[in-house]
Amino acid sequence: MASTSSARVIICGDMHLRPHDRGAFLMFLADLGQRPAAHLVILGDLFEYWLDGPVAQRAYQGLFVRLQALHQQGWHIHLVPGNRELAGGGYLRTAVPWHVHPHSCDVHCYGKRLRIVHGDRLVRDPGYRFMVAHLKGWWCMAWRRCLPLSLQVFIARSLRAFSRRKQRRVSELGAALSLLDPRRVQAAAVHCDTLIAGHIHQQLQRHIRGIEFVLCGHWEADHGSWVEVDAAGHITLCKQSWSLNAAG
Protein backbone atom coordinates (compact mmCIF):
# COMPACT_ATOMS: atom_id res chain seq x y z
CA MET A 1 0.00 0.00 0.00
CA ALA A 2 1.30 3.43 -0.87
CA SER A 3 2.54 5.60 1.94
CA THR A 4 1.31 9.13 2.47
CA SER A 5 3.82 11.96 2.45
CA SER A 6 1.71 13.89 4.98
CA ALA A 7 2.28 11.33 7.74
CA ARG A 8 2.96 12.87 11.11
CA VAL A 9 3.80 9.66 12.89
CA ILE A 10 5.32 6.52 11.40
CA ILE A 11 5.17 3.43 13.58
CA CYS A 12 7.05 0.22 12.96
CA GLY A 13 8.58 -2.62 14.93
CA ASP A 14 9.84 -6.20 14.96
CA MET A 15 12.75 -5.73 12.57
CA HIS A 16 14.84 -8.34 14.40
CA LEU A 17 18.01 -6.93 12.84
CA ARG A 18 21.21 -8.92 13.08
CA PRO A 19 24.65 -7.29 13.32
CA HIS A 20 25.68 -5.59 10.04
CA ASP A 21 22.19 -6.21 8.53
CA ARG A 22 21.59 -4.02 5.48
CA GLY A 23 18.17 -5.24 4.37
CA ALA A 24 14.76 -3.68 3.81
CA PHE A 25 14.58 -1.70 7.05
CA LEU A 26 17.76 0.26 6.33
CA MET A 27 16.45 1.02 2.83
CA PHE A 28 13.18 2.15 4.39
CA LEU A 29 15.11 4.56 6.64
CA ALA A 30 16.93 5.93 3.59
CA ASP A 31 13.52 6.46 1.89
CA LEU A 32 12.21 8.29 4.97
CA GLY A 33 15.07 10.75 4.51
CA GLN A 34 13.38 11.85 1.24
CA ARG A 35 10.16 12.71 3.06
CA PRO A 36 9.23 15.67 5.29
CA ALA A 37 10.45 15.21 8.85
CA ALA A 38 7.94 13.64 11.24
CA HIS A 39 7.93 11.32 14.23
CA LEU A 40 9.31 7.80 13.83
CA VAL A 41 8.27 5.42 16.60
CA ILE A 42 10.07 2.07 16.71
CA LEU A 43 7.96 -0.13 18.96
CA GLY A 44 10.62 -2.66 19.87
CA ASP A 45 12.41 -5.81 18.75
CA LEU A 46 14.55 -3.64 16.51
CA PHE A 47 17.36 -6.12 17.19
CA GLU A 48 17.40 -9.90 17.07
CA TYR A 49 18.90 -9.47 20.52
CA TRP A 50 20.69 -6.61 22.22
CA LEU A 51 23.52 -7.14 24.72
CA ASP A 52 24.30 -3.70 26.09
CA GLY A 53 27.92 -2.79 25.36
CA PRO A 54 30.39 -1.37 22.85
CA VAL A 55 30.40 -4.58 20.76
CA ALA A 56 26.68 -4.24 19.98
CA GLN A 57 27.06 -0.52 19.41
CA ARG A 58 29.74 -1.17 16.75
CA ALA A 59 27.86 -4.10 15.18
CA TYR A 60 24.82 -1.89 14.49
CA GLN A 61 26.77 1.18 13.40
CA GLY A 62 25.16 1.13 9.91
CA LEU A 63 21.69 1.33 11.46
CA PHE A 64 22.67 4.05 13.92
CA VAL A 65 24.22 6.18 11.16
CA ARG A 66 20.90 6.09 9.23
CA LEU A 67 18.88 6.98 12.33
CA GLN A 68 21.34 9.75 13.20
CA ALA A 69 20.93 11.16 9.65
CA LEU A 70 17.14 11.24 10.07
CA HIS A 71 17.54 13.02 13.40
CA GLN A 72 19.73 15.65 11.72
CA GLN A 73 17.00 16.16 9.11
CA GLY A 74 14.58 17.04 11.89
CA TRP A 75 12.96 13.65 12.52
CA HIS A 76 11.97 12.87 16.10
CA ILE A 77 12.89 9.27 16.81
CA HIS A 78 11.31 7.23 19.59
CA LEU A 79 12.04 3.74 20.86
CA VAL A 80 9.64 1.65 22.93
CA PRO A 81 11.92 -1.30 23.81
CA GLY A 82 10.58 -4.80 23.14
CA ASN A 83 11.49 -8.13 24.67
CA ARG A 84 14.60 -8.31 22.43
CA GLU A 85 15.89 -5.16 24.14
CA LEU A 86 15.30 -6.36 27.70
CA ALA A 87 19.04 -6.13 28.36
CA GLY A 88 19.16 -2.54 27.03
CA GLY A 89 21.03 -0.01 29.17
CA GLY A 90 23.16 3.08 28.73
CA TYR A 91 24.68 1.97 25.42
CA LEU A 92 21.24 1.49 23.86
CA ARG A 93 19.87 4.75 25.28
CA THR A 94 22.74 6.80 23.87
CA ALA A 95 23.30 4.94 20.56
CA VAL A 96 21.01 7.43 18.77
CA PRO A 97 19.48 10.75 19.92
CA TRP A 98 16.13 9.04 20.38
CA HIS A 99 13.52 9.25 23.11
CA VAL A 100 13.34 5.92 24.91
CA HIS A 101 9.89 5.17 26.38
CA PRO A 102 10.16 2.17 28.73
CA HIS A 103 6.58 0.88 28.33
CA SER A 104 4.52 3.02 25.99
CA CYS A 105 4.52 6.16 23.92
CA ASP A 106 1.36 8.30 23.83
CA VAL A 107 0.59 10.48 20.81
CA HIS A 108 -2.26 12.98 20.51
CA CYS A 109 -3.59 13.83 17.04
CA TYR A 110 -6.58 16.17 16.68
CA GLY A 111 -8.06 15.00 19.98
CA LYS A 112 -7.43 11.33 19.17
CA ARG A 113 -5.30 9.60 21.75
CA LEU A 114 -3.01 6.88 20.44
CA ARG A 115 -0.93 4.62 22.64
CA ILE A 116 1.99 2.68 21.18
CA VAL A 117 3.28 -0.39 23.01
CA HIS A 118 5.49 -3.30 22.04
CA GLY A 119 2.69 -5.82 22.63
CA ASP A 120 4.41 -8.55 24.65
CA ARG A 121 2.21 -7.62 27.64
CA LEU A 122 -0.96 -8.18 25.62
CA VAL A 123 -0.58 -11.92 25.11
CA ARG A 124 -1.21 -14.95 27.30
CA ASP A 125 2.21 -16.50 27.78
CA PRO A 126 3.00 -17.38 31.41
CA GLY A 127 6.39 -18.93 30.52
CA TYR A 128 7.49 -15.74 28.81
CA ARG A 129 6.29 -13.54 31.69
CA PHE A 130 8.25 -15.65 34.15
CA MET A 131 11.36 -15.28 31.99
CA VAL A 132 10.94 -11.47 31.79
CA ALA A 133 10.56 -11.19 35.57
CA HIS A 134 13.67 -13.35 35.94
CA LEU A 135 15.76 -11.38 33.42
CA LYS A 136 14.80 -8.05 34.96
CA GLY A 137 15.74 -9.13 38.50
CA TRP A 138 18.81 -7.29 39.85
CA TRP A 139 20.52 -10.58 40.70
CA CYS A 140 20.17 -11.79 37.13
CA MET A 141 21.47 -8.46 35.79
CA ALA A 142 24.46 -8.64 38.15
CA TRP A 143 25.12 -12.30 37.27
CA ARG A 144 24.97 -11.53 33.56
CA ARG A 145 27.51 -8.70 33.89
CA CYS A 146 29.98 -11.20 35.36
CA LEU A 147 29.74 -13.53 32.35
CA PRO A 148 32.13 -13.24 29.41
CA LEU A 149 30.48 -11.72 26.33
CA SER A 150 30.79 -14.96 24.33
CA LEU A 151 28.73 -16.79 26.96
CA GLN A 152 26.14 -13.96 27.02
CA VAL A 153 25.86 -14.23 23.23
CA PHE A 154 25.44 -18.00 23.51
CA ILE A 155 22.65 -17.62 26.07
CA ALA A 156 20.91 -14.91 24.03
CA ARG A 157 21.07 -17.05 20.86
CA SER A 158 19.76 -20.11 22.69
CA LEU A 159 16.82 -18.12 24.03
CA ARG A 160 16.16 -16.79 20.50
CA ALA A 161 16.27 -20.29 18.99
CA PHE A 162 13.83 -21.53 21.63
CA SER A 163 11.52 -18.58 21.00
CA ARG A 164 11.68 -19.10 17.19
CA ARG A 165 10.73 -22.78 17.54
CA LYS A 166 7.83 -21.80 19.76
CA GLN A 167 6.75 -19.03 17.34
CA ARG A 168 6.86 -21.48 14.41
CA ARG A 169 4.64 -23.94 16.27
CA VAL A 170 2.16 -21.17 17.10
CA SER A 171 2.06 -19.77 13.53
CA GLU A 172 1.73 -23.28 12.04
CA LEU A 173 -1.39 -23.59 14.13
CA GLY A 174 -2.50 -20.15 12.91
CA ALA A 175 -2.88 -19.34 16.58
CA ALA A 176 -0.76 -16.18 17.00
CA LEU A 177 -3.80 -13.93 17.27
CA SER A 178 -5.55 -16.25 19.69
CA LEU A 179 -2.76 -15.51 22.19
CA LEU A 180 -4.06 -11.94 22.40
CA ASP A 181 -5.86 -11.35 25.67
CA PRO A 182 -8.76 -8.86 25.18
CA ARG A 183 -8.65 -7.95 28.87
CA ARG A 184 -4.99 -7.02 28.59
CA VAL A 185 -5.74 -4.97 25.46
CA GLN A 186 -8.49 -3.14 27.33
CA ALA A 187 -6.26 -2.52 30.37
CA ALA A 188 -3.35 -1.27 28.23
CA ALA A 189 -5.67 1.14 26.40
CA VAL A 190 -7.01 2.98 29.46
CA HIS A 191 -7.43 6.71 28.67
CA CYS A 192 -6.73 6.24 24.97
CA ASP A 193 -8.77 5.61 21.80
CA THR A 194 -6.34 3.56 19.78
CA LEU A 195 -3.75 1.02 20.84
CA ILE A 196 -0.94 0.24 18.39
CA ALA A 197 1.29 -2.79 18.98
CA GLY A 198 3.70 -5.21 17.37
CA HIS A 199 5.18 -8.46 18.73
CA ILE A 200 2.64 -10.74 16.98
CA HIS A 201 4.17 -10.23 13.50
CA GLN A 202 0.84 -9.56 11.80
CA GLN A 203 -0.74 -6.44 10.40
CA LEU A 204 -4.38 -5.73 11.17
CA GLN A 205 -6.84 -3.13 12.37
CA ARG A 206 -9.94 -4.13 14.32
CA HIS A 207 -12.00 -3.21 17.35
CA ILE A 208 -11.48 -5.07 20.61
CA ARG A 209 -13.83 -4.20 23.48
CA GLY A 210 -14.54 -0.79 21.98
CA ILE A 211 -10.88 0.04 21.41
CA GLU A 212 -9.40 0.59 17.97
CA PHE A 213 -6.58 -1.95 17.96
CA VAL A 214 -3.81 -1.94 15.35
CA LEU A 215 -1.00 -4.41 14.82
CA CYS A 216 1.72 -2.82 12.71
CA GLY A 217 3.34 -5.95 11.24
CA HIS A 218 6.99 -6.91 11.05
CA TRP A 219 10.10 -6.87 8.83
CA GLU A 220 11.94 -9.47 6.77
CA ALA A 221 15.13 -9.06 4.73
CA ASP A 222 13.35 -7.72 1.62
CA HIS A 223 10.00 -6.39 2.85
CA GLY A 224 8.32 -4.77 5.78
CA SER A 225 5.10 -3.29 7.08
CA TRP A 226 4.36 -0.26 9.16
CA VAL A 227 1.61 2.17 10.15
CA GLU A 228 1.26 5.86 9.29
CA VAL A 229 -0.84 8.40 11.15
CA ASP A 230 -1.64 11.70 9.45
CA ALA A 231 -2.31 15.06 11.08
CA ALA A 232 -6.04 14.28 11.39
CA GLY A 233 -5.34 11.00 13.20
CA HIS A 234 -6.20 8.75 10.22
CA ILE A 235 -4.35 5.46 10.32
CA THR A 236 -2.98 3.79 7.18
CA LEU A 237 -1.51 0.29 7.16
CA CYS A 238 1.45 0.21 4.76
CA LYS A 239 3.71 -2.47 3.34
CA GLN A 240 6.46 -2.53 0.75
CA SER A 241 9.14 -4.77 -0.78
CA TRP A 242 12.64 -3.66 -1.72
CA SER A 243 15.07 -5.17 -4.17
CA LEU A 244 18.02 -6.37 -2.14
CA ASN A 245 20.35 -5.66 -5.09
CA ALA A 246 19.76 -1.98 -4.38
CA ALA A 247 21.11 -2.33 -0.82
CA GLY A 248 23.78 0.24 -0.08
- Applying CB under 5 A, the residues found at the interface with Mn ion are 45, 82-83, 199
As a whole number of angstroms, the distance between CA 152 and CA 199 comes to 23
Which of residues 83 and 104 has its CB atom nearest to Mn ion in the complex? Answer: 83
Give 153-159's long-range contacts (Cβ < 8 A, gap of 24+): 153/51, 156/49, 156/51, 156/87, 157/49, 159/49, 159/131
Supply the minimum distance, in Å, between the C-beta of residue 18 and Mn ion. Answer: 15
Supply the minimum distance, in Å, between the C-beta of residue 196 and Mn ion. Answer: 14
What are φ and ψ of residue 200, in 5° steps?
-90, -5
Which of residues 86 and 109 has its CB atom nearest to Mn ion in the complex? Answer: 86
Supply the minimum distance, in Å, between the C-beta of residue 150 and Mn ion. Answer: 25
As a whole number of angstroms, the distance between CA 45 and CA 43 comes to 7
As a whole number of angstroms, the distance between CA 225 and CA 239 comes to 4
Which of residues 198 and 233 has its CB atom nearest to Mn ion in the complex? Answer: 198
Supply the minimum distance, in Å, between the C-beta of residue 248 and Mn ion. Answer: 28
Q: Which residue is nearest to Mn ion (CB)?
A: 199
Which of residues 49 and 75 has its CB atom nearest to Mn ion in the complex? Answer: 49
SS3 36: coil
